[in-house]
Amino acid sequence: DIVMTQSPDSLAVSLGERATINCKSSQSVLNSSNNKNYLAWFQQKPGQPPKLVIYWASTRDSGVPDRFSGSGSGTDFTLTISSLQAEDVAVYYCQQYYSTPYTFGQGTKLEIK
Amino acid sequence: EVQLVESGGGLVQPGGSLRLSCVASGFTLSTYAMNWVRQAPGKGLEWVSVISGGGGNPYYADSVKGRFTISRDNSKNTLYLQMDSLRAEDTAVYYCAKERVTFDSWGQGTLVTVSS
């Protein structure tokens, strides 16, 4: 199984500042045949289901603000929120869909400082 | 608009069974693989199972293999999860999720509590 490890576990950032969350996979999730990283990011607010934010490591899902960006390749990935807004407070999860069992990181709780 | 509505959760004793349903609307169910993902109270996300659009090729997490069965009835726009031999550690909110690349749409979830 591919183990996903996020850092940090929690993060407090001031409004308008940059937030950065890291995710590391225990093996590469890059498919060399199509050069795509099978890595997604989800946002989950209290009492709500998760919401897809980023897929293919760097593609924003429809309607996601452009302050969200994803980067990385192979085993190391980053979710960046360029200018934190109050509505971005949530738990963020990375997930690999390269192979079953699909696995998630443990989550990073993002709060306002 | 895509909608996924889960039902069937509740309180069940250890060793008991439940069948969850997920009714889909706003898209053609048969076009997409569908998944179940669960979240224990206060914990992270755990993928449970996937089934292809046509109903074949089910896969399961090791934690539920041999006890849970995923199925679908595309004519009824419904996904199912039959859960047998339930354990306390199966207590969680169970979400169904549509798979376009990955889990692009989720239901609101249904709570399963396994307790005596």
Q: Tokens for B66, please give them.
A: 């041999």
A109: contact with B, CB 8 A cutoff: no
What gap in Å lies between CA A108 and CA A75, rounded to an integer?
18
**Please, are residues B4 and B66 in contact by the beta-carbon 8 Å criterion?**
no
Contact B19, B8 (CB under 8 A): yes
Q: What is the pLDDT along chain A (113 residues), one digit of tens a residue?
A: 999 999 999 999 999 999 999 999 999 999 999 999 999 999 999 999 999 999 999 999 999 999 999 999 999 999 999 999 999 999 999 999 999 999 999 999 999 99
Give the three-class secondary structure for A4: strand
Judged against a pLDDT cut of 90, whether residue B116 lies above it is answered with yes
Nearest CA in chain A to B65: A101
Q: What would the pLDDT profile of B23-82 be if each residue is shown by its tens digit?
A: 999 999 999 999 999 999 999 999 999 999 998 889 999 999 999 999 999 999 999 999
CB proximity under 8 Å: A 33-72 to B: 38, 40, 42, 44, 48-52, 55-56, 61
Contact criterion met (CB < 8 Å) for B47 and A102: yes
Give the CB-side neighbour count of residue B26, counting CA atoms within 13 A.
Answer: 11
User: H-helix or E-strand containing B54?
Assistant: none
CA atoms of A75 and A40, how far apart (whole Å): 13
Cβ contact B29:B46 at 8 Å: no
Question: In the prediction, which pLDDT does B57 show?
Answer: 85
Q: What does the longest C-alpha to C-alpha distance in chain A come to?
A: 43
